[in-house]
C-alpha cells in the first residue's frame, strides 16, 4: 500500500491517495488496520485502483448519507453502472420513486407489524438453542446464525419453495455484483444474478396469499407499478436480509465469547438487549461500503468534490472512528445505541432494521436464559466484495446451572 500527497490524478492534489484495492482478499478478510490509516490520513481520501473518493470517518459518512440531493443513489450504490440498471430496487433509486417503493414495501417491516413476529421467532430460537446445547460443538454460522433469517424468508415472504435453497448464493452474488466491473467476483455475481431473475419471472401467480411478496405485488399494482418493477422490488425482502443479519449474529457469538464480562452483564440486565444489538452491529458492520454519486460540485469540509464522481462510504471504518467512539475496538454493550451507522443513515437507512433487531434480540435473549458461556474455536472469513463476516465459526455452548 502506498500513500502519497503528490501527483493526484484529480485536481485535488492535497487529498491523501491510497493504492488500496478494496476487493483484494486481504482487505476483505481484515480491512480494519488499513481503515485506521485511511482515517488518520484525512476526512476524504482518493482510492487509486477505484478512481473514487472515500469517506473513512464518521462525520463525513453521516453527511454524505443524509444529503441525498447532493449524493445520489439513483446512479447505483456499487462501483459499476451495470448493476444499477439491472436492479432498480429501493436501494438504487432517489425520490420520488424511492419514496413510492419504500411506502409500498415497508408495511410488513413497520415496528408494530414486526413485533407480531416475536412468538414464532422465539419458538424457533428456543428449539435451535436447546438442540445446540446438547452438541459438543457446532458451526455458529450454518447451525445457528442462518436459522432465524432463513426462517423469515421461508415463512413470511411467501415465495415458491424451489428457489429457497439458492437464496443464500443469490444474496451473496447480489452483493458481489456491486464491485468494479473488471473484478472476477463482480462478473460471477452478475452471472448468478441472471439465474435469480429467471426464478423471479416464475413467481407471479405462485405466491403465498397474504405473504410479504403477495402484499407487495398487490400494493404495487394499486400504485400503478408495472410487473417487472414489482418483481424487482420483492428482492428487497430477500437479498439484503440474509447475509447481513447472519454475519451480525455470528459476529455477536464471537464478541460475547471473547468478552464474557459483557455476556454476564447481558444475562443479568436484559434491558441492555437493544444496546447490545447496536454494539454488535457497530463492530460487525456486515456492509462494508456502498457508494453515492455527487450530483453537483460539493464542499465536504474543506474538500471540493466535483460533480459526477463516486464517493465510497466506508460504514465499517466510520463505526470504529476514534473521533466518535472512545476506545472504538472495545466491545461495550452500554454504549449509546444510535451513534453507529451499521444500518445506514438518512433516506436509505435500513428498511428491515426492526426485523433484524428483533431476530437478534430474541436469539440473544433465549441464549441468555440457558447458556452460561459461549466458546469459539477455529473460524474462516467469507470473501465478498461488500459483505464482511464469518463463513464458518466453531462454537460450543456451556449450559447454565
* Positions in the binding site for ligand HEM (CB under 6 A): 65, 73, 77, 90-91, 102, 109, 236-237, 240-241, 244-245, 248, 281, 286-287, 290, 315, 342-344, 348-352, 355-356
> Shortest gap between Cβ of 290 and ligand HEM (angstroms)?
5
Q: How far apart are CA 292 and CA 44, in angstroms?
A: 14
Beta-bridged to residue 379, according to DSSP, are 393
Would you say 263 or 289 has its CB closer to ligand HEM? 289
Would you say 304 or 353 has its CB closer to ligand HEM? 353
Would you say 145 or 272 has its CB closer to ligand HEM? 145
Would you say 17 or 357 has its CB closer to ligand HEM? 357
Q: How far apart are CA 132 and CA 127, in angstroms?
A: 9
CA angle centred on 97, ends 96 and 101, rounded to 5°: 120
Q: Which residue has the cell 488500496?
A: 20
> Shortest gap between Cβ of 400 and ligand HEM (angstroms)?
27
Phi, psi of 178 (to 5 degrees): -80, -10
Would you say 80 or 396 has its CB closer to ligand HEM? 80
> Shortest gap between Cβ of 9 and ligand HEM (angstroms)?
27
Cell of 58: 464518521
> Shortest gap between Cβ of 244 and ligand HEM (angstroms)?
3
219 CA to centre of own chain:
26
Would you say 268 or 338 has its CB closer to ligand HEM? 338
Edge to edge, the sheet with strand 138-139 lists: 138-139, 390-399, 371-381
Cell of 225: 407499478
Nearest to 319 by CA among 377, 370, 270, 251: 251
Would you say 185 or 247 has its CB closer to ligand HEM? 247
Beta-bridged to residue 313, according to DSSP, are 55, 290
Could you give the 3-state DSSP secondary structure of residue 25? helix
CA dihedral (98, 104, 109, 110) positive or negative: positive
> Shortest gap between Cβ of 105 and ligand HEM (angstroms)?
7
Bridge pairing between strands 71-72 and 289-294: antiparallel
Would you say 71 or 263 has its CB closer to ligand HEM? 71
Cβ neighbours of residue 72 under 8 Å, at least 6 residues apart? Answer: 94, 292, 293, 294, 295
Would you say 77 or 121 has its CB closer to ligand HEM? 77
Phi-psi region of 346 (alpha: psi -120 to 50; beta: other; left: phi over 0): left
> Shortest gap between Cβ of 149 and ligand HEM (angstroms)?
7
> Shortest gap between Cβ of 63 and ligand HEM (angstroms)?
13
Bond into 376 cis (ω within 30): no
> Shortest gap between Cβ of 361 and ligand HEM (angstroms)?
12
> Shortest gap between Cβ of 355 and ligand HEM (angstroms)?
4
Amino acid at each position: 500500500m502506498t500513500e502519497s500527497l503528490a501527483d493526484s490524478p484529480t485536481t485535488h492534489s492535497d487529498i491523501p491517495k491510497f493504492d488500496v484495492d478494496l476487493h483484494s482478499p486481504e482487505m476483505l478478510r481484515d480491512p480494519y488496520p488499513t481503515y485506521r490509516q485511511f482515517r488518520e490520513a484525512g476526512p476524504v481520501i482518493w482510492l487509486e485502483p477505484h478512481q473514487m473518493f472515500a469517506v473513512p470517518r464518521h462525520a463525513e459518512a453521516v453527511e454524505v448519507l443524509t444529503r441525498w440531493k447532493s449524493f445520489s443513489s439513483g446512479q447505483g450504490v456499487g462501483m459499476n453502472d451495470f448493476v444499477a440498471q439491472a436492479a432498480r430496487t429501493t436501494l438504487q433509486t432517489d425520490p420520488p420513486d424511492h419514496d413510492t417503493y419504500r411506502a409500498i414495501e415497508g408495511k410488513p417491516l413497520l415496528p408494530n407489524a414486526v413485533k407480531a413476529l416475536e412468538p414464532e421467532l422465539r419458538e424457533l430460537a428456543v428449539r435451535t438453542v436447546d438442540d445446540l446445547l446438547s452438541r459438543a460443538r457446532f458451526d455458529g454460522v450454518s447451525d445457528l446464525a442462518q436459522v432465524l433469517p432463513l426462517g423469515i424468508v421461508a415463512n413470511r415472504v411467501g415465495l415458491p419453495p424451489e428457489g429457497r435453497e439458492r437464496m443464500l448464493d443469490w444474496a451473496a452474488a447480489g452483493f458481489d455484483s456491486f464491485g468494479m466491473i473488471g473484478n472476477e467476483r463482480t462478473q460471477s455475481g452478475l452471472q448468478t444474478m441472471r439465474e435469480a431473475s429467471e426464478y423471479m419471472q416464475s413467481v407471479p401467480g405462485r405466491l403465498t396469499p397474504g405473504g410479504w411478496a403477495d402484499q407487495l405485488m398487490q400494493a404495487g399494482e394499486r400504485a400503478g407499478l408495472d410487473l417487472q418493477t414489482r418483481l424487482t422490488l420483492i428482492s428487497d425482502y430477500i437479498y439484503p436480509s440474509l447475509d447481513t443479519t447472519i454475519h451480525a449474529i455470528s459476529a455477536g457469538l464471537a464478541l460475547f465469547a471473547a468478552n464474557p464480562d459483557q455476556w454476564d452483564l447481558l444475562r443479568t440486565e436484559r434491558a441492555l438487549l437493544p444496546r447490545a444489538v447496536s454494539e454488535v452491529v457497530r463492530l460487525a458492520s456486515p456492509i462494508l461500503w456502498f457508494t453515492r454519486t455527487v450530483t453537483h460540485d460539493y464542499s465536504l469540509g474543506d474538500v471540493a468534490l466535483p460533480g459526477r464522481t463516486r464517493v465510497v462510504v466506508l460504514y465499517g471504518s466510520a463505526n470504529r472512528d476514534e473521533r466518535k467512539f472512545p476506545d472504538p475496538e472495545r466491545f461495550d454493550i452500554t454504549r449509546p445505541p444510535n451513534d453507529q451507522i451499521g444500518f445506514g443513515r438518512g433516506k436509505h437507512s435500513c428498511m428491515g432494521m426492526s426485523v433484524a433487531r428483533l431476530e437478534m434480540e430474541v436469539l440473544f435473549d433465549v441464549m441468555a436464559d440457558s447458556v452460561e458461556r459461549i466458546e469459539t474455536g477455529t473460524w474462516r472469513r467469507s470473501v465478498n466484495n461488500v459483505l464482511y463476516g464469518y463463513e464458518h465459526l466453531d462454537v460450543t455452548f456451556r449450559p447454565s446451572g
